[in-house]
């Protein structure tokens, strides 16, 4: 009898030694062997190619995805923010619970890599290259705004600088790493302790059992491959722009061009391909150690070259601010900022500014926090799986320390050194009156006589207002006789420079003298805001630069050591890109090979080349705009993955609870899982699902009467709520095409639907409580809200005689017995 129970449970949702039931394609042998899931691989490649073609052909693709991302920030910020906080609470609970002593592997297994190599690999894979790009840029941008802090003109500058560091810490702290920890923990636990395939679909085994080997599991793996490749490709493409900028910074003869960027892409891809062929233990491991070592050297040099005492003070101070405000920032959704125009309050409220655009721009949350959260989540399959692969033999507590606590502390140190130094430089530059200007037409007035003639024609001294043709022109008229020029407005910085340089009557100057004057102005343009000034080589106005320029401007400011730091930085950036590319290729190959941790070499080469080819195609055909579209699409994909992550978190907790014996794996259960009507090829089950879409109240009535859970009032109330919801929604839709429309009917309709869901939740909870079926009211509520027809099937199929699930699905008359002995637990 016990053997029958065990066999049945292993076919359901027990976490036992996994038997892979995935679809395989196998061909060849040795170095020419191929072994992959044909459905997942083919579907992923088709989707990738189609999407890349769309981004190349549609010039507005980036705008479309940006619109979608902004819509997500307005409608689902609460979901992004709230879910991240819940995941953090779950991981903290695991850390301090008895589950923390469990191992990612068998109890006698030891870690495969040393602590140093392990940390170097997970850090290089996780955020290493991002800290080069944002290490200087984000603190500076948060300091200069616009955001809800810079809107307050009365905020002291020192406090604003600290807020900038705090917001940056928030984006790169606990919330940035938590998604990687959850995915890495459950994959490592299932793969190394339960011998299951290391692929994203395995995360759902504690919830749906063998159903992961159907279309649902394949869909999860396809989405994971697509988001991983898009993330790696956009980082590779956009990263080459920063590398190209660094090379141009070191040698002006190396131009900022698509050709040079393509060469950089394929150099990185070539090294990454060699690395991924040699595997984790050799290529990826050694490259990661070199990257981490270079990063440490650069960080320590900058700390000592800048102001070490300022850096130490700022590090200590910023950590205190982070933990003081983590709850406030962690739950802040910009609720008022995201309101429509006109919802900002009275104009005469005595606010510190005159306009009515709220306490901060509406786009800040979309451009920063939601961007980061979506980006981290979309990268979670890639980084989480790679961290799991290198973490065998470690306890969950050690895993959390290494993949959350240590990276957070190190990232804070990095951001303090480079971000704090950047803010210090930005403040010094403002004191020296270095500023950002908006010249637009300087390149026009060079060499050609007709351009010099136009310059003299437009020049009309003295410049007494801020309208100046050097800052842009609007032109009307098709012929020289009718053409009219209107000068655009210069900002105060540009106006000051014009008034200082243009003191002569241009009409009296020769063309050569005029060209020399314009060239002088162009040089002044550069040092005024972009590059180290003539008077002080150690100061630049970083906020006038692009993000990829800020890093090199900062390290170049350290006089004699600037050139050395530029070389080290460039080497570090390139190697970090290589480690991201090779680890990404390996993870994609593992997912396409049904979780095989040592996929064939030809497949590794294929995916590495696909990454390089995708980035090249986008950069060649659409430039940075096409890459931006791909990046934004990856962030948008973070929304469905947020929902997936919520289920993964539940699965993680359930897996650990089963392993610890807190949940009886042989206890009573429903004979039909919620996903069975969607995954099983059983027409009878489909028909029952479809009927319950409209007949759910009738099923509720039968269940409550059969199991004596209440009178007919429950069934009547369920029927009233359900029918009212349907009728009101029909009237709402019909009202859109009729003059008799009643606005707001949908609100009452959803009230009735939630009432119906509440009734279903109560009935399901009563059934579980009466027959000791595991679960909780939260699961009951969400099951009733999103899959109530499946809930109806579960309740209706509970044994009429005994009220509990049958022992075998094919034998409804046998009753499963609960086992009290601990030997039956997994």
Residue 173 — very low, low, confident or very high, per pLDDT cuts 50/70/90? very high
Which residues lie across from 34 on neighbouring strands? 27
The answer, yes or no, to whether residue 821 has pLDDT greater than 50, is: no
pLDDT of residue 799: 59
pLDDT of residue 14: 45
Q: Summarize the confidence of residues 245-268 as an average pLDDT.
A: 86
Under 8 Å between Cβ of 435 and 540:
no
Look at residue 160 and give its three-state secondary structure: helix
Token pair of 821 as six digits: 């002995």
| 683-706 and 712-735 helices, crossing angle to 10° | 130
pLDDT of residue 461: 55
CA distance 415 to 409: 10
Average the pLDDT over each of 2-16, 216-230, 402-416, 747-761 and give the range with the smallest value. Answer: 2-16
Q: pLDDT digits over 746-780, tens only? A: 899 999 999 999 999 999 999 998 888 888 899 99
How confident is the model at residue 257, as a pLDDT? Answer: 87
Top pLDDT among 800 and 123 is at 123
Check residue 469 and give its pLDDT.
64
The predicted structure's pLDDT at residue 527 = 47
Average pLDDT over residues 464-488: 64
3-state secondary structure of 809: coil
Q: What is the pLDDT of residue 203?
A: 94
pLDDT at 763: 93
pLDDT of residue 531: 47
CB 179 within 8 A of CB 189: no
State the pLDDT at residue 535.
44
Q: How far apart are CA 311 and CA 297, in angstroms?
A: 16
> Is 60 exceeded by the pLDDT of residue 329?
yes
Does 511 score more than 50 pLDDT? yes
152 or 222, greater pLDDT = 222
The pLDDT of residue 83 is 95
Cα-Cα end-to-end distance for the chain: 17
State whether residue 376 is helix, strand or coil.
Answer: helix
Least confident of 122-126, 621-625, 734-738, 795-799: 621-625
What phi and psi, each to the nearest 5 degrees, are found at residue 35? Answer: -155, 105
- The vertex-619 CA angle with 616 and 620, nearest 5°, equals 80
* H/E element, 584: helix 562-592
Q: Is the pLDDT of residue 213 over 60?
A: yes
549 exposure class (CB count in 10 Å sphere: 0-12, 13-18, 19+):
buried
Counting beta carbons within 10 angstroms of the beta carbon of residue 482, is it exposed (0 to 12), middle (13 to 18) or buried (19 or more)? exposed
Does 446 or 364 have the greater pLDDT score?
Answer: 364
Q: Give the whole-angstrom CA distance, residue 415 versus residue 428.
A: 19
Give the pLDDT of residue 825: 30
pLDDT of 435 reads 75
Q: Write down the pLDDT at residue 61.
A: 81
**pLDDT at 44 exceeding the cut of 90:** yes
- Quick: pLDDT tens for 653-700: 999 999 998 887 777 788 888 998 988 878 889 999 999 999 999 899
What whole-number distance in Å separates Cα of residue 382 and Cα of residue 584? 6
Query: Mean pLDDT over residues 572-585, rounded?
Result: 86
| Mean pLDDT computed over 169-173 | 95
The CA distance from 662 to 45, in Å, is 42
pLDDT at 797 over 60: yes
* Radius of gyration of the chain, Cα coordinates, nearest whole angstrom: 31
User: Residue 101's Cα: distance from chain center in Å?
Assistant: 30
Please give the model's pTM, rounded to 2 decimal places. 0.86
Helix/strand/coil for 799: coil
d(CA 188, CA 219): 21
The verdict on whether omega for the bond into residue 601 sits within 30 degrees of 0, i.e. cis, is no
Extract the tokens encoding 123: 């850090």
Closest CA to 241 of 546, 543, 540: 546
Higher pLDDT, 805 or 679: 679
Q: How far apart are alpha carbons 708 and 710 in whole angstroms? A: 6
Residue 54 pLDDT > 50: yes
Q: How confident is the model at residue 467 (pLDDT cuts 50, 70, 90)?
A: low
Higher pLDDT pick, 742 / 800: 742
CA distances from 680 to 12, 45, 644 (A): 13, 27, 21
Find, among 714, 720, 723, 727, the residue nearest to 694 by Cα: 723
Average pLDDT over residues 555-578: 89
The DSSP secondary structure of 671-682, one letter per residue, reads SS-TTHHHHS--
Read off the DSSP letter of residue 401. Answer: I
Backbone angles phi, psi at 784, to 5 degrees: -70, -35
Kindly indicate the confidence band of residue 396, based on its pLDDT and cuts at 50, 70 and 90.
very high
pLDDT of residue 409: 95
Is residue 450 a contact partner of residue 419, using CB atoms and an 8 Å limit?
Answer: no
Out of 152-161, 316-325, 485-494, 525-534, give the one with best mean pLDDT.
316-325
Q: Which of 126-130, 253-257, 723-727 has the highest mean pLDDT?
A: 723-727
């Amino acid at each position: 009898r016990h053997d029958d129970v065990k066999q049945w449970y292993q076919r359901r949702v027990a976490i036992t030694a996994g038997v892979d039931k995935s679809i395989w394609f196998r061909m060849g042998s040795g170095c020419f062997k191929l072994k992959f899931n044909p459905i997942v691989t083919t579907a992923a490649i088709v989707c990738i190619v189609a999407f890349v073609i769309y981004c190349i052909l549609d010039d507005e693709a980036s705008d479309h995805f940006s619109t979608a991302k902004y819509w997500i920030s307005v409608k689902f910020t609460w979901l992004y923010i709230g879910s991240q906080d819940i995941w953090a609470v779950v991981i903290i609970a695991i850390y301090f619970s008895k589950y923390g002593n469990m191992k990612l592997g068998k109890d006698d297994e030891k870690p495969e890599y040393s602590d140093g190599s392990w940390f170097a690999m997970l850090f290089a894979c996780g955020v290493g290259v991002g800290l080069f790009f944002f290490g200087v840029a984000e603190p500076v941008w948060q300091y200069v705004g616009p955001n809800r802090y810079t809107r307050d003109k009365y905020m002291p500058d020192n406090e604003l600088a600290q807020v900038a560091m705090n917001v940056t810490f928030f984006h790169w702290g606990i919330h940035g790493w938590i998604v990687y920890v959850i995915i890495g923990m459950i994959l490592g636990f299932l793969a190394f302790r339960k011998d299951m395939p290391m692929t994203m679909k395995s995360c759902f085994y504690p919830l749906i059992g063998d159903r992961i080997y159907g279309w649902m599991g394949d869909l999860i793996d396809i989405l994971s491959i697509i988001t991983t490749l898009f993330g790696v490709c956009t980082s590779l493409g956009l990263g080459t722009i920063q590398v190209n900028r660094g090379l141009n910074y070191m040698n002006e003869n190396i131009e900022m061009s698509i050709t040079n960027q393509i060469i950089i892409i394929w150099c990185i891809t070539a090294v990454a391909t060699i690395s991924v062929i040699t595997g984790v233990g050799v290529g990826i491991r050694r490259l990661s150690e070199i990257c981490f070592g270079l990063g440490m050297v650069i960080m320590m040099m900058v700390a000592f070259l800048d102001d070490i005492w300022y850096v130490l003070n700022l590090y200590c101070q910023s950590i205190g601010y982070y933990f003081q405000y983590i709850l406030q920032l962690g739950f802040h959704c910009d609720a008022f900022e995201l309101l429509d125009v006109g919802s900002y309050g009275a104009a005469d409220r005595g606010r510190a500014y005159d306009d009515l655009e709220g306490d901060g721009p509406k786009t800040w949350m979309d451009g920063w926090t939601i961007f980061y959260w979506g980006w981290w989540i979309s990268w979670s399959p890639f980084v989480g799986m790679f961290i799991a692969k290198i973490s065998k033999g470690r306890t969950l507590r050690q895993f959390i320390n290494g993949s959350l606590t240590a990276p957070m502390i190190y990232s804070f140190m990095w951001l303090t050194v480079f971000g704090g130094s950047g803010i210090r430089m930005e403040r010094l530059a403002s004191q020296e009156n270095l500023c950002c200007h908006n010249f637009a037409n300087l390149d026009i007035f060079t060499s050609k006589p007709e351009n010099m003639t136009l310059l003299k024609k437009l020049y009309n001294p003295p410049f007494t207002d801020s309208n100046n043709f050097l800052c842009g022109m609007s032109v009307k008229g098709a012929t020289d006789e009718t053409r009219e020029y209107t000068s655009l407005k210069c900002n105060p910085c540009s106006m000051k420079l014009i008034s200082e340089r243009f003191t002569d009557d241009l009409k009296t100057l020769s063309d050569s003298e005029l060209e020399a004057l314009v060239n002088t102005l162009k040089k002044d343009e550069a040092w005024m805001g972009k590059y180290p000034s003539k008077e002080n080589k150690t100061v630049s106005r970083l906020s006038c630069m692009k993000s990829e320029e800020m890093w090199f401007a900062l390290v170049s400011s350290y006089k004699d050591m600037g050139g050395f730091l530029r070389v080290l930085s460039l080497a570090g950036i390139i190697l970090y890109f290589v480690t991201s590319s090779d680890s990404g290729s390996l993870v994609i190959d593992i997912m396409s090979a049904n979780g095989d941790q040592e996929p064939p070499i030809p497949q590794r080469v294929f995916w590495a080349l696909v990454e390089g080819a995708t980035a090249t195609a986008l950069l060649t055909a659409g430039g940075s705009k096409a890459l931006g579209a791909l990046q934004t699409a990856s962030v948008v994909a973070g929304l469905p993955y947020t929902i997936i992550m919520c289920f993964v978190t539940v699965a993680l907790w359930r897996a650990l609870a089963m392993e610890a014996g807190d949940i009886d794996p042989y206890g009573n259960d429903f004979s039909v899982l919620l996903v069975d009507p969607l995954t099983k090829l059983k027409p009878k089950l489909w028909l029952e699902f479809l009927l319950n879409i409209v007949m759910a109240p009738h099923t509720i009535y039968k269940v409550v009467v059969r199991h004596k859970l209440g009178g007919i009032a429950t069934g009547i109330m369920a029927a009233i709520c359900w029918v009212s919801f349907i009728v009101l929604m029909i009237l709402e839709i019909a009202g859109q095409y009729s003059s008799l429309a009643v606005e707001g009917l949908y609100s009452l309709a959803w009230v009735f639907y939630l009432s119906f869901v509440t009734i279903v939740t109560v009935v399901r909870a009563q059934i579980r409580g009466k027959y000791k079926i595991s679960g909780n009211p939260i699961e009951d509520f969400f099951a009733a809200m999103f899959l109530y027809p499946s809930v109806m099937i579960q309740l209706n199929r509970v044994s009429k005689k005994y009220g509990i699930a049958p022992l075998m699905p094919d034998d409804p008359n046998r009753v499963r017995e609960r086992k009290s002995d601990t030997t039956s637990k997994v």
